[in-house]
Structure 1
Amino acid sequence: MNPQVEHTDVGAYALGLLEEPDRRAFEGHLRGCPPCRAELAEMAGLADTLADLGPEEGVIEEPPVRLHRRRARRGTYAVGAAAAAVLLAAGVAVGASLGGDPAPAGRDRAPVQAVAGEQHAASDPRTGVSGRVGLAGKGWGTQIGLELKGVRGPLRCYLEAVSRSGERSVVMGWQVPAKGYGLPGSPLPALVAQGGTATFPQDLDRLEVRVDGGGTLLTIPVARA
């Protein structure tokens, strides 16, 4: 983590993904940042739930997205604010096991929706990919939940937020297994991931699912009227 502690590291902290020096630095940041403390309280249930879920084939856990800059034809890529990308098989409410079994006895916990907030959806007949996103405005920008289906692997993909002014920021990245997501013969009905961008909801124009190396699998318009 950059020595400058970012607000979006709250996700990585909640999921236990920060290394020891970064963890100590972020805890120092928490003491003086009420918004981060509130965000951590919201995510505590999700982190606890994920801790109860054992490893599952096809589940990919990504470390926090490192802030960096990229150049592109349409401007600078400001790396987004994904504290962590949590990938799990969709079609299962968080709070239940990935196999569909109920939560362990004694756990009275409401399910956490990975794709919640302001909903937008789209599909691309050219690629066969469909998806939806949930946007939640935060003090630091926008928290984004993604559900994606019909993706053929193996691929390396990333979600990119595009603002009304054309500025792009990487929200999260992931790997698609050989059998893909939401396809006949695939054990995973969908990809569900969480990330974020420093761009606020009212300033967003669209979200693009892109392939590492070039190409767009899906564009989801999110601009407000």
Structure 2
Amino acid sequence: MTSQVEHTDVGAYALGLLEDDDRRAFESHLLGCASCRAELDELSGVASALTGVGPLLDDDPPPPDGQAQVIDLLRRRQAADRRARRGTWLIGTAAAVTLVAGGLTVGTQLAGQAGAPGGQPVAAAGHAGHLGPAEQFYADGTPVEGRGADGVTGGLVVESKGWGTHAALRLSGLRGPLECELVSVSRSGERHVMTGWSVPPAGYGVPGSPDPLYMHGGSPVPLKDIARFEVVTSTGRTLLTVEV
């Protein structure tokens, strides 16, 4: 038994598919291999769930579910691959074990991903239909457009809260790397940082990275007492000003 084959025998050992000689050799290998012991612990729950499921015989009646077929397939695949001494058997085993542990639901999951009721495609996370909190708040509100610099454009949606002011920001034309803050400026000149972030080199709302940036934050100053909002860099440059 080679070292590579030893490491790939965890799934077979957990399911009781190893022949006696290979089982004893693998048990000796386990004594000195912490990674195999850890992987065996992870598979023990699946192995327990399959206890008592044996191979299919030609005269056996069809089982009530697909578990016995999977186990029989694993046994036959193991026998063939042990003869060939291939190191890739665990890939097929892991996939089949996942099918059993998951209740053979992969097919229905893939079917569900193909489209939503009515034939509409299911949107992926981060796309339309799955907006983040800042983007959703901005989309539901009435944006106030700002005055930008250095090619930056954007706007704010603001609302009064019992604790102060909540704002959602949309920015485009933002080139990185930068460190920025959204700041509220009161009528008396008091400044409060509402939120801060880093802009990666790819930027936002620019060629090669067309998606705008959405952020939201809060100020303890009531909306009626705020004169404007500013997006400023860590170097003190003002990229966007929104008057309210």
Higher strand fraction: Structure 1 or Structure 2? 1
Higher relative contact order (CA 8 A, sep 6+): 1
Max Rg structure: 2
Compare the two structures and name the one with the higher helix fraction: 2
Q: TM-score normalised to the size of structure 2?
A: 0.45
Q: TM-score, normalised by structure 1?
A: 0.48
